[in-house]
């Protein structure tokens, strides 16, 4: 899949991006009862625009996606569409979130994006193992609550 080229009328293209974006205030809302709903909404919106989700993972406080976007669409316009429409759809489906995230602001401003090029396998592996890495970092950063040198 790393060298799969798509085509338009007179164009061959392979535009893949690694995207990371977060809920407002990095609230850990994604792993609650909304995880499946948010995943389905993002898939649906990507299908509407002809964007292929190659890899994706919903972390407790952010989302990683590896996507293939047609060159006729800019990454900024796609992200504006994705975050804007998904916020509206999330609030329509889960009306109780309106009180937590007033004014229909679900996502934080901005996002991270990088082009993938031909190292797609490395980025796919990174996305798949991101949660394991975060768990290990959390386990290693556990503080001692008692002084281990007291007798």
At CA 37, angle to CA 109 and CA 94, rounded to 5? Answer: 75
Residue 132, CA atoms < 13 Å, CB-side half-sphere: 5
81 vs 32: CA distance, rounded Å: 24
Of the candidates 34, 48, 101, 126, the residue annotated as catalytic is 126
Residue 87, CA atoms < 13 Å, CB-side half-sphere: 20
126 labelled catalytic: yes
Active site residues: 126
């Amino acid at each position: 899949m790393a060298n799969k080229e798509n085509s338009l009328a007179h164009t061959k293209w392979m535009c893949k991006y690694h995207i990371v974006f977060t809920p407002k205030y990095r609230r850990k809302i994604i792993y609650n009862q909304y995880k499946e709903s948010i995943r389905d909404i993002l898939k649906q919106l990507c299908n509407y625009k002809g964007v292929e989700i190659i890899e994706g993972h919903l972390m407790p406080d952010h989302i990683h996606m590896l996507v293939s976007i047609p060159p006729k669409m800019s990454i900024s316009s796609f992200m504006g569409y994705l975050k804007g429409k998904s916020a509206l759809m999330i609030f329509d489906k889960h009306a109780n979130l309106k009180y937590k995230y007033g004014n229909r602001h679900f996502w934080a401003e901005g996002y991270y994006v990088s082009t993938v090029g031909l190292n797609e396998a490395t980025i796919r592996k990174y996305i798949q193992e991101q949660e394991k890495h975060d768990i290990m970092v959390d386990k290693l950063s556990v503080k001692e609550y008692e002084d281990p040198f007291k007798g």
